[in-house]
Amino acid sequence: DTGVSQDPRHKITKRGQNVTFRCDPISEHNRLYWYRQTLGQGPEFLTYFQNEAQLEKSRLLSDRFSAERPKGSFSTLEIQRTEQGDSAMYLCASSRGLAGGFSYNEQFFGPGTRLTVL
Amino acid sequence: AQKITQTQPGMFVQEKEAVTLDCTYDTSDQSYGLFWYKQPSSGEMIFLIYQGSYDEQNATEGRYSLNFQKARKSANLVISASQLGDSAMYFCAMREGTGNQFYFGTGTSLTVIP
């Protein structure tokens, strides 16, 4: 299967601990996105990478959150000093940026990592 | 103001009937894209259909069609011949201009009744 994969699928942690999630995008996709989805809500944008460059960050991404995409392939999202309010589904998506013009830039989503902070 | 508004938290439809899921959007950009995604209980977001702001015809993809009314800023999803497997959350989303951020609505939970 060559879709977007995320690891782990579930993570339970205690408040104050650090957690790290991994996302492997579709191999030919140069754009990668992280979203957070809480119960009963749609996904909320966190950050966006084009290749290895982090080009956009939402104000939702506090200084406890950091994302990297060191070689322009997989990405990691780290949350330091987790809080109960961080409990959510963290979704990764990737897309292929088309050169020139406006493209619809469909995003393909992974299965998500469900984080529970106790 | 919300970029995407979905006013129907839950909808029921009889199997084999058609159903319309509402979506209105708010943007001042002339170029934008509208998307619908399906999220089954497994959690994965599945792309269904896309409509560009300059597209003159309503988008269709199999049993899915998008009723695009630009002046009213609405982009309703129509599912024809509903199947039990259509039971899921449905999200409307928008991308503005050449931006990369998607704005999602709060979703509509669709239940197909046998």
Is pLDDT of B114 > 90?
Answer: yes
The pLDDT assigned to A1 comes to 54
| Dist. CA A24–CA A20, nearest whole Å | 14
Is pLDDT of A75 > 70?
Answer: yes
- The mean predicted confidence, pLDDT, of chain A is 90
Q: Which whole number is the average pLDDT over B85-103?
A: 90
The pLDDT assigned to A104 comes to 59
pLDDT digit string, tens, across residues A44-60: 999 999 999 998 888 88
Tell me which residues of chain A, numbers 17 to 76, contact chain B at a CB-CB cutoff of 8 Å. Answer: 31, 33, 35, 40-45, 48, 50, 55-56, 58
Question: Any residues with CB less than 8 A from the CB of A46 and at least 6 apart, and which?
Answer: A33, A34, A35, A36, A57, A58, A60, A61, A65, A67, A77
Name which of B31, B50, B104 is nearest A106 (Cβ-Cβ): B50
Q: Quick one: CA dihedral B41, A57, A117, A79, positive or negative?
A: positive
The pLDDT assigned to A74 comes to 96
Is pLDDT of A102 > 70?
Answer: no
Q: What percent of chain A shows pLDDT beyond 70?
A: 92
